[in-house]
Amino acid sequence: MTSNKPPIDIFKPFLSLKKTYKGGITKAELASEGGKIYKLSSNENIFGASPMAIEAIKNNLGALNEYPDRTDQRLRDQLHVFYKEELSPGHFIGGPSGSEVLDMTIRAFMDHDLECIVSTPFFLPYQMFSRWQNAKIIDVPMDPDDYSIDADGLLAAITDKTRLLFLTSPNNPTGTYIPKATLDKIVYNVPDHVVIVMDEVYFHFADAPDFSTALPYVKEGRKIIALNSFSKAFGLASMRIGYAYTTPEISAYIRQIAKPFLINRLSLEAAIAALKDEAFLKMTRDTIIEERKWLYQQLDLLGIQYWKSQANFILIQPPIADNLFAEAMLKRGVMVRPSANFGSPGNIRVTIGDREANEAYISAIKSCVTD
């Protein structure tokens, strides 16, 4: 049958994205030519996962045929202990990765005709997931020199349609943080209809005296959702598990859209065990902070420009074009990540490893410059 009617487009126009976030490639995807690869491209934990989490996974392998817990309740109970009972289980939302909790948050708050605010350079899923809700994304870029946020600009960009304002501290890909005074200015001046999403997945690595998480604000009852992950300091990126904390009202609101059995058994047990493994967390944090200082010294000696970081990675300005640099480093066995897609063109984000990986990285830069 033929018809003169124009074809009906079955695809939603706002889902036809040109720019989408893919995440860094894995070692397995890399056509390796043999030799050791140091993966310093995805801000993972170079020390592996918490041994207690690994044990918990092994102990649960016999029950893969059974459904896991229906809800995130046991994870929230353990988070209550981890946060030294400063927050109640009702403050938390658990989910299969920080990204998934972010998506739940955006689905719960964004809609066509509503707006959210981001600051370039930022973690692209804020924009990607908001587009999936056909929402409008307003960008108030950071200062491109020091990557500080524009607090006045962010407040001025708020309209009656704004629902979410994204802040990231420490920020990906820059490693920079939002000082407490700047946070205060934003938190105490946003109107009541704006919820701040404070992405703090790298907070374990921060040591600046004026660094703050969202904890004091959430305890005061401010409308802030603090996004967290088990992928970084806890070393569980493969398990896809994360959480947020916010006011009990917002937490209960978002949890309404959690699907039954959302968190798989192994991830849930691994996360609960990892929260109890203080020694692994401390070793990870202390070593990364030490190695960060060592890397600053090495980069200074090489005359490479970088931004001081509060995270487990450092953004550098490579001595040659970013893509050529990433390729040259890969040939030398070091995977690094160009940050142009995040809105930081020409720069490269490099995860902090152990001393062996960091030495391999520094000697690879030296040989890129001299060869």
Which is closer to ligand PLP, CB of 78 or CB of 99?
A: 99
For residue 363, the minimal CB distance to ligand PLP (Å) is 27
Q: Which of 60, 127, 176, 231 binds ligand PLP (CB under 6 A)?
A: 231
- Please give the residue whose beta carbon sits closest to ligand PLP in the complex: 98
> Is cis: bond before 319, omega within 30 of 0?
no
The first and second tokens of residue 84, run together, are 């030294």
Q: Which residue stretch of 57-65, 179-187, 229-237, 281-289 sits at the interface with ligand PLP (rule: CB under 6 A)?
A: 229-237
Which is closer to ligand PLP, CB of 68 or CB of 98?
A: 98
Nearest to 43 by CA among 278, 210, 282, 292: 292
Q: Which residue stretch of 95-103, 109-117, 148-156, 276-284 sits at the interface with ligand PLP (rule: CB under 6 A)?
A: 95-103
For residue 269, the minimal CB distance to ligand PLP (Å) is 17
Which is closer to ligand PLP, CB of 237 or CB of 302?
A: 237
Give me the 35-74 binding string for ligand PLP, x by CB under 6 A, dash otherwise.
--------x-------------------------------
For residue 274, the minimal CB distance to ligand PLP (Å) is 13
Give me the 263-282 binding string for ligand PLP, x by CB under 6 A, dash otherwise.
--------------------
* Cβ-based neighbours of 222, under 8 Å, separated by 6 or more: 187, 196, 247
Q: Which residue stretch of 7-15, 49-57, 93-101, 262-270 sits at the interface with ligand PLP (rule: CB under 6 A)?
A: 93-101
Give me the 172-211 binding string for ligand PLP, x by CB under 6 A, dash otherwise.
x--------------------------x-x----------
* Cβ-based neighbours of 134, under 8 Å, separated by 6 or more: 12, 14, 111, 112
Q: Which residue stretch of 96-104, 142-150, 296-304, 317-325 sits at the interface with ligand PLP (rule: CB under 6 A)?
A: 96-104
Which is closer to ligand PLP, CB of 265 or CB of 337?
A: 337
> Is cis: bond before 121, omega within 30 of 0?
yes
Size of the site for ligand PLP (CB under 6 A): 13
Q: Interface with ligand PLP includes 167 (CB under 6 A)?
A: no
Which is closer to ligand PLP, CB of 115 or CB of 199?
A: 199
Q: Which of 123, 177, 205, 325 binds ligand PLP (CB under 6 A)?
A: 123
Cα–chain center distance at 306: 20
Q: Interface with ligand PLP includes 99 (CB under 6 A)?
A: yes
Give me the 238-257 binding string for ligand PLP, x by CB under 6 A, dash otherwise.
----x---------------
Q: How far is CA 113 from CA 120, 135, 192, 262, in A?
A: 22, 6, 19, 29
For residue 344, the minimal CB distance to ligand PLP (Å) is 13
| Segment 289 to 348, residues that bind ligand PLP, using CB under 6 A | none
User: Which positions lie near ligand PLP, rule CB under 6 A?
Assistant: 43, 97-99, 123, 168, 172, 199, 201, 229, 231, 237, 242
